[in-house]
Amino acid sequence: MVEAANASMIEGDPIGALQFLKSAEDLDPSLASIYHAKALAFNMRKDLPQALKEMKKAVDLDPKSSAANNTYGKLLLDAGKYAEAETYLKRAAEDPTFRESFKARTSLGMLYYRQNKLDLADSQLERASFDDPNNSCIAYYYRGHVAMKRGQNADAVKFYERATQKLCAGFADAHFALGVAYEREKKWDEARKKYLEVKQNFSESKAAEQAMQRLSKLP
C-alpha cells in the first residue's frame, strides 16, 4: 500500500496517498515507511507541522535510515529549525552508502548559507555537486548565491549557468539569477537576452515577473 501511496503522490494526489497509508497503518503501525510517506503527502498539502510529526515517527522507528534522516532534516530546515535540521542532515550526508547524500549536503549548504556561514555552505555545496553533478541544480544555484555574496560575480555566472543546463534547464529561478549575475558583470546584452528568455519560457512564474522588472531598468 505504501507503493500505491507513492504512485498517488507522483500523480499529484496526496489525499489518495493518505487513504492508502491509513489502510497500511491499520494493518501494521510499526512500519517506518508508512510515516515517511505520510510526511511527504502532508508536505505536498502544505501542512508542514503535520509532516514534521509524521516524519518524527518514521525516524524514531528507524533512526539509522539515511533517507528518513534526510527528509526529516529538510522539513526541519523548511520550518526554520536549523539546529535540529543540522543534526539529521549530517547523519544522512555522512553515510557513505546513501546514494542521495548529495541532497543532504545541498540542504546543509542552504542551512549554512542562511546563517551566513559561507565557507561551510560552499564546502557542502561543492561536495554535493561533486557527488552527483547531473542532479545538483540547487547546489549550483546556491553556490552562485555564495559567490554573489562574496562579490565574486564571474564565479556566480559560472555556477548559475551550470544550474540552468541539461537536467536543470527548467529551473526558472536559476535562469533569473543568471540574468542578475550578468548585470553585476555589466554584461547588459547577456542580461537582456536572459530576462527575455525567462519571460518566454516561464511566463506564469514569479521569476518572469521579476525579470521584466529588471529588464525595464537596464541601461
* Full set of structural domains in the chain with CATH: 133-219 (1.25.40.10)
What's the grid cell of residue 146?
555564495
Polymer length of the chain: 219
Average pLDDT in the chain: 96
pLDDT of residue 5: 74
| pTM listed for this prediction | 0.93
Looking at residue 87, its pLDDT comes to 98
Give whole-number Cα distances, 21 to 42, 56, 65, 137, 206, in Å. 12, 16, 19, 31, 34
pLDDT in tens, 17-59: 899 888 988 889 999 999 999 999 999 999 999 999 999 999 9
Residue 196 clears pLDDT 90, i.e. is over it: yes
Q: How far apart are CA 60 and CA 55, in angstroms?
A: 9
- When pLDDT is cut at 50, 70 and 90, the band that residue 138 belongs to is very high
Sign for the pseudo-dihedral over CA of 75, 79, 83, 86 = positive
Query: According to the model, what pLDDT value does residue 6 have?
Result: 76
How far is CA 184 from each of CA 119, 148, 154, rounded to the nearest angstrom?
Answer: 22, 9, 9
pLDDT of residue 10: 86
How far apart CA 199 and CA 144 sit, in angstroms, is 21
DSSP 193: H
